[in-house]
A and B are shown apart, each in its own frame.
Chain A
Amino acid sequence: KQEVTQIPAALSVPEGENLVLNCSFTDSAIYNLQWFRQDPGKGLTSLLLIQSSQREQTSGRLNASLDKSSGRSTLYIAASQPGDSATYLCAGANAGGTSYGKLTFGQGTILTVHP
């Protein structure tokens, strides 16, 4: 059974800093891994999806990596801004096909970027 852990649980940084959020998973047979941000009252926003055959994905100031052998993924945020303040969740899928949509979520990292 896949288990997903995120550290740290909370992170507070000054504006402009580069930061890394960590996600670890127990089952290396992961199919893909997705990073989300959650804002209060706004549900989840998909940020990046990394397939098991990929090592990283980039979107703007965000870069996510995936290392199946070590069971780890990181989300790198460059030049952080107060608008980046949110809860960041990683979630792993162990298969496509009929298991599509069955994501195992970590408990999230609460990020606060202060001016």
Chain B
Amino acid sequence: SAVISQKPSRDICQRGTSLTIQCQVDSQVTMMFWYRQQPGQSLTLIATANQGSEATYESGFVIDKFPISRPNLTFSTLTVSNMSPEDSSIYLCSIGQGGEKLFFGSGTQLSVL
């Protein structure tokens, strides 16, 4: 399966700032997905990132808060904007490969003070 590298692995940020999370895949993939896991909660899909088009956001998530870039078939970024303590979560990128299995990066542990 593809190798998914996610950076940073963790960060501590101040309220009101923004953080950009990078996801690099070692092979070309059509669809990439961004998930959030809040403390003690399960994973929730934020958006689907397609190359060459705008990301598709799930209910409750908006582009102004979570802008996504997908410049090519191996790379995507998720920005968490104007952060508040409620944004403290693990953010994970994922890809589909080999049928409909999803594979995940190692995640970014974000803490907002």
Which chain A residues have a beta carbon within 8 Å of chain B's beta carbons?
A: 4, 31-32, 34, 36, 41-46, 49, 89, 91, 93, 96, 100-103, 105-108
Contact of A101 among B9, B45, B99 (CB under 8 A): B45
> In the bound complex, how far is the Cα of B106 from the Cα of A41, in angstroms?
6
Contacts A101-B31, A108-B42; A43 near B105 (Cβ below 8 A)? yes
Chain A residues with Cβ below 8 Å from B99 are 49
Verify B42–A101 contact, CB threshold 8 A. Answer: no
Question: Is B96 a contact of A107 with CB atoms below 8 Å?
Answer: no
Q: Are B102 and A103 in contact (CB under 8 A)?
A: yes
C-alpha spacing A89/B101, complex, angstroms: 14
- The distance in angstroms between the C-alpha atoms of A103 and B95, with both chains bound, is 12
With contacts defined as CB atoms under 8 Å apart, how many contacts are there between chain A and chain B in the complex? 60
- Return chain B residues, CB-CB under 8 Å to A42: 106-107
Q: Is the CB of B42 within 8 A of A43?
A: no
In the docked arrangement, what's the CA distance between A107 and B44, Å? Answer: 11
The answer to whether A89 and B45 have CB atoms under 8 Å apart is no
- Sampled A-B contacts (11; CB under 8 Å): A34-B101, A41-B109, A42-B106, A43-B4, A43-B106, A44-B104, A91-B43, A100-B96, A101-B45, A101-B48, A105-B44
Pick from A44, A100, A101: contact of B92, CB below 8 A. Answer: A44
Q: Evaluate contact between B43 and A96: CB separation under 8 angstroms.
A: no
Chain B residues with CB under 8 Å of A43's CB are 4, 6, 92, 104-107
Assess the A46–B45 pair: CB atoms within 8 A.
no
B41 within 8 A of partner (CB): yes
Bound together, the chains give a CA A3 to CA B90 distance in angstroms of: 21
Closest 4 CB pairs of A and B: A43-B106, A44-B104, A105-B42, A105-B43
Determine if B64 is an interface residue (Cβ-Cβ < 8 Å).
no
